[in-house]
Chains A and B, each alone.
Chain A
Amino acid sequence: MRIGIVCPYSFDVPGGVQNHVMDLAEALIGLGHEVSVLAPADEEAPLPSYVVSAGRAVPLPYNGSVARIAFGPVSTARVRRWLTRGDFDVLHVHEPLTMSVSMLAVLSAKGPVVATFHTAMTRSRVLAAAQGVLQIVLERITARIAVSALARKVQVEHMDGGAVEIPNGVTVAKFSHAAPLPGWPGECGPGRGGTLGFLGRFTEPRKGFPILRDAFVELAAARPGLRLLVAGPGEPDDLLGRFPAALRDRVTFLGLVSEADKARMLRSVDLYVAPNTGGESFGMILTEALAAGATVVASDLDAFRRVLDGGRAGLLFPTGDAAALGSALTDLLDDPARRAELTACGEQVVAHFDWPVVARRVLEVYAAAIEATDGRVIDQEWVELG
């Protein structure tokens, strides 16, 4: 199949949507399809061979953060040229309701269009006012994909349409084969040792870092050798200042890590802790931790319960309860058999999120969109083999 994928955000800066697009494109190429990705990027930026630049992106404040996007006559011309040259069987756009090359591509497309919605934006006044304009974009889309149950709910309730829920994928091999950091995770026996991991912005309340800190401080006093490995944006002094002076040498801060280092970090912990208090629509990090073979302890949020298969692939604790987290951690650190059981189950769960598996489901949506455009049915074998 000839597939054209459009990413609205610039590849110059890392981000969830950009990673999703790259992983999807690589998985589809791995399955034997021809893929071209259009995305805004600086001319001299190093890009993978399958990416075509839609020109430089302009930073614009949007929805509380800065988005780097491309929109305007030059971008329109580039989008049109890319569509004509590509002669795609199906066009797959991401986040088509942002003012971006995704929207331009939808408006210029002639054939079947598949759209993926990542964010679960709730109904805003802007959205309500622009409903008539959005309708013109939406009705050019043949099939819709939502990456989480929450994103799908927003589709159904606010945009008058269903969507197929296909979760974010994870490249399992990248995580399961990563080498742990030297000297980690170290020993972990009954009553001593063990490494806890946390990844994310520790200053953001919704990530729930204070809950993990309280549990760690409580636990570390009684458990010699217990260590905490933290990665994510923030200042080292700010992080260490949150711990009593006696415990600071048992906390290691890696700062912002690359994708490769993230995999190594997740391989370096005994228990990965996700103490989030809300705002997670999917729980990508949990699938990554599972892929790395870490045992996961997570707060009992809908999104987390779904990923952890109701608690069989990881331990759930009552959201926001530091004492419950503490006793869950103690139990697991002292019980290698239980950890192995959870990790084995996690391995099977995460196989459903492996990119080649997820990409096959996306291909079936492509087939449905193509069929709905010309009324002919595509064979299952053709979908699977390309």
Chain B
Amino acid sequence: MPGMWWWVGAILVVGLVAAYLSWTAGRVERLRVRAESAARALDAHLLRRAAAAAVLAERRYGVELYAAARIALDAEPEEREAAENDLTRQLRAVRLDPADPDCEAVIAASRRLALARQVHTDLVRDARTARGRPLVRLLRMGRRHPWPRYFDIDDPTLALPADVPA
């Protein structure tokens, strides 16, 4: 009975396609969730750095650094990247002494922020690549959520003062 084999073949193909589609949908969703977690971690690290900078500014270095830290803490989402870059510039302009605990807190927060930024950028890229695949777009798999966004700031790593004698 050749007709039955046609049916078996068709069901097999439909099954495989369904499995591939659900795997792809799961993949898009998994990467989106991860990019969102990374964004929350990045947000937390930005707040920590700004808070550490504000503490330092209150004790020394004064108004300009304090204002930059305040603005970074209070910035609206669309102004936040510029505000954070401004804070990075202010922090680079002052000489930080790693022996001072408040300075060390800012240096450590900046280092952790740099890592969070790097990881966030990579994970957003993965999520966007998965979401941009033709099949995913055609079936509008991620439509219930906005596209994951990059957070585009300069590398916040602070150059440490050389501890090797020149």
Measured CB to CB, the residues of A under 8 A from B are 135, 138-139, 142-144, 160-164, 309, 312-313, 345, 348-349, 364-365, 367-369, 371-377, 380
Q: B111, A364: Cβ atoms under 8 Å? A: yes
Report whether B115 and A365 are in contact in the complex, using a CB–CB cutoff of 8 Å: yes
Distance (whole angstroms) from the CB of A115 to the closest CB of chain B: 11
Question: How far, in Å, is B23 (CB) from chain A's closest CB?
Answer: 10
Residues of chain B within 8 A of A376, CB atoms compared: 40-41, 44
A142 and B44 contacting across the interface, CB-CB below 8 Å? no
- B4 contacts chain A at the CB level, 8 A cutoff: no
* Chain B residue contacts of A144, Cβ below 8 A: 122
Could you tell me if A380 and B164 are in contact, using CB atoms closer than 8 angstroms? no
Q: Which residues of A contact B48 (CB under 8 A)?
A: 377
Quick check: which of B54-62, B65-73, B74-82, B123-131 contacts chain A, the rest being far away?
A: B123-131
Q: Residues 140-166 of chain B: 1 if any A CB is under 8 Å from the residue's CB, otherwise 0?
A: 000000000000000000000001111
Interface contact B111-A161, CB-CB below 8 Å = no
A143-B119, A162-B118, A365-B115 as given contacts; A373 in contact with B34, CB under 8 Å: yes
In contact, B116 and A309 (Cβ under 8 angstroms):
no
In whole angstroms, how far apart are the Cα atoms of A221 and B122 in the complex?
58
Contact of A372 among B27, B109, B120, B166 (CB under 8 A): B120
Q: Are A368 and B115 in contact (CB under 8 A)?
A: yes
Measured CA separation A144–B122 after assembly (Å): 9
Contact B37 A374 (CB under 8 A): yes
CA distance A139 to B166 in the complex (A): 43
Q: Are A371 and B116 in contact, CB atoms less than 8 angstroms apart?
A: yes
Is B88 positioned at the interface, with any CB of A under 8 Å from its CB?
no
Q: A372-B37, A372-B120, A377-B45 are in contact. Are A349 and B115 (CB under 8 A)?
A: no
* Residues A348 and B31 in contact, CB atoms below 8 Å apart: no
Interface string of B103-141 (1 = CB under 8 A from A): 000001101100110111111011001100000000000
Check if B44 sits within 8 Å of A364, measured CB to CB: no
Q: Which residues of B contact A369 (CB under 8 A)?
A: 119
Q: How far is the CB of A232 from chain B (nearest CB, A)?
A: 30
A368/B119 in contact, CB under 8 A: yes
Taking A142-B123, A312-B164, A371-B44 as given, write out 8 further A-B residue pairs in contact, using a Cβ cutoff of 8 Å, ordered by the A residue number. A135-B129, A139-B130, A143-B115, A161-B122, A372-B41, A372-B120, A373-B34, A377-B44
Interface residues of chain B, those whose CB is within 8 Å of chain A, are: 27, 31, 34, 36-38, 40-41, 44-45, 48, 108-109, 111-112, 115-116, 118-123, 125-126, 129-130, 163-166
A372-B163 in contact (CB<8A):
no
Whole-angstrom distance from the CB of B50 to the nearest CB of chain A? 14
Complex contact A162–B121 (CB within 8 A):
yes
In the assembled complex, how far is the CB of residue A6 from the closest CB belonging to chain B, in whole angstroms? 20
Q: Which residues on B sit within 8 Å (CB–CB) of A373?
A: 34, 37
Give chain A residues whose Cβ lies under 8 Å from the Cβ of B109.
380
Q: Which residues of A contact B126 (CB under 8 A)?
A: 138-139
Chain A residues, Cβ within 8 Å of B37? 371-375
List of A residues within 8 angstroms of B119 by Cβ: 142-143, 368-369, 372
What are 19 A-B pairs with beta-carbon distances under 8 A? Answer: A135-B129, A142-B34, A142-B119, A160-B125, A162-B118, A162-B122, A164-B115, A364-B112, A365-B115, A367-B112, A368-B41, A368-B112, A368-B119, A371-B41, A372-B123, A375-B40, A376-B41, A377-B44, A380-B112
Q: Of all chain A residues, which has the CB nearest B123?
A: A372
Closest residue on chain A to residue B38 by CB atoms: A372
Task: State A135–B126 Cα separation when bound (angstroms).
Answer: 9
Task: Name the A residues within 8 Å of B123 (CB-CB).
Answer: 142, 372
A348 touches B120 (CB 8 A): no
Query: What is the minimal beta-carbon distance from A56 to any residue of chain B, in angstroms?
Result: 33
With A368-B119, A372-B123: A139-B112 Cβ-Cβ less than 8 Å: no
Q: Given A160-B125, A375-B40, answer yes or no on A345-B115 (Cβ-Cβ < 8 Å).
A: no
Residues of the B chain whose Cβ atoms lie less than 8 Å from the Cβ of A374 = 37
Decide: A348 near B112, CB < 8 A? Known: A139-B130, A160-B125, A368-B119.
Answer: no
CA distance A174 to B7 in the complex (A): 70
Chain B residue with the shortest CB-CB distance to A369: B119
Q: A312-B164, A345-B164 are in contact. Are A372 and B116 (CB under 8 A)?
A: yes
Contacts of A364 in B (CB 8 A): 111-112, 115
Residues of chain B with a CB closer than 8 A to A375's CB: 36-38, 40-41, 44
Q: Is the CB of B116 within 8 A of A368?
A: yes
In Å, the complex CA distance between A375 and B39 comes to: 8
A349 to B163, CA, bound (A): 9
In whole Å, how far is B149's beta carbon from the nearest beta carbon of chain A? 15
Residue ID in chain A nearest B108 by CB atoms: A380
Q: What is the CA–CA distance of A380 and B115 in the complex, to the nearest angstrom?
A: 13
- Does the CB pair A161–B125 fall under 8 Å? yes
